[in-house]
Amino acid sequence: MRSQSQSPTRVLGIDPGLTRMGMGVVEGSIGRPLSLVDVNVIRTTSALPVWERLVTIERGVEAWIDEHRPDAVAIERMFARSDVSTIMGTAQAAGVAMVVAARRGIPVAMHTPSEVKAAVSGNGRADKAQVGLMVTRILRLDAMPKPADAADALALAITHIWRGGAQNRLEAAVAAQALKAGTR
């Protein structure tokens, strides 16, 4: 794994979905300009049974991880919606992505939509257009990534680079302190 102080961190952001799964890879570190590595969506058709769609998603996530070799995977944390069928498919797709990363020993982080919105726009209630505009500015892109799932995946990767590093350092410090306390 690349160290943030020595070289940029590469993060695969995933905006989970059963029909469209946003995938975005960003590289960078805190205090330095971030750069876009790749962005796209994995698509499945509702004409297929769910389990076949999940296999398509699994293969797509595997291909992205094999091609881009991320240091971490950042996935949108699910929250309750009124449409249970939508949340189920989204949760299933997110679970597949978590398993693919875990099998390869890649750390997985979950970020809430409001956390991502706050990180990239300064407003936890920003709409999709505001998030897309800020992703475009932060990554110095000529055009906003489309569809919105792609922009959301990039926002997740940006959030993880900006916030995940600090969270990882806090968790490491707590673990070191616990280990030190246990050896006395």
Indicate if 76 belongs to the active site: yes
State percent of the chain over pLDDT 90. 77
Q: Of these residues, 66, 67, 71, 76, which one is catalytic?
A: 76
User: What would the pLDDT profile of 31-50 be if each residue is shown by its tens digit?
Assistant: 899 999 999 999 999 999 99
Of 130, 162, 148, 119, give the one whose Cα is nearest residue 24.
148
Q: Of these residues, 15, 27, 71, 152, which one is catalytic?
A: 15
Domains located in the chain, CATH noted: 9-182 (3.30.420.10)
Phi, psi dihedral angles at 52 (to 5 degrees): -70, -35
Indicate if 58 belongs to the active site: no
Three-state secondary structure readout of 16-71: CCCCEEEEEEEEECCCCCCEEEEEEEEECCCCCCHHHHHHHHHHHHHHHHHHHCCC
CB atoms within 10 A of CB 95: 15
Q: Average pLDDT of the chain?
A: 90
How far apart are alpha carbons 129 and 132 in whole angstroms? 5
Of 139, 149, 142, give the one whose Cα is nearest residue 93.
149
Indicate if 127 belongs to the active site: no
CB atoms within 10 A of CB 139: 22
User: What would the pLDDT profile of 13-26 be if each residue is shown by its tens digit?
Assistant: 999 999 999 999 99
Q: Of these residues, 27, 71, 149, 152, which one is catalytic?
A: 149
Instruction: Tell me the binding residues for Mg(2+).
Output: 15, 76, 149
E strand or H helix at 182: helix 165-182
Mean pLDDT along residues 54-61: 98
- Kindly tell me if the per-residue pLDDT of 2 is higher than 50: no
| Amino acid (one-letter) located at 58 | E
User: What would the pLDDT profile of 109-129 be if each residue is shown by its tens digit?
Assistant: 999 999 999 999 999 999 999
- Total residues found in the chain within this entry: 184
155: confidence class by pLDDT, cuts 50, 70, 90: very high
Instruction: Tell me the binding residues.
Output: 15, 76, 149
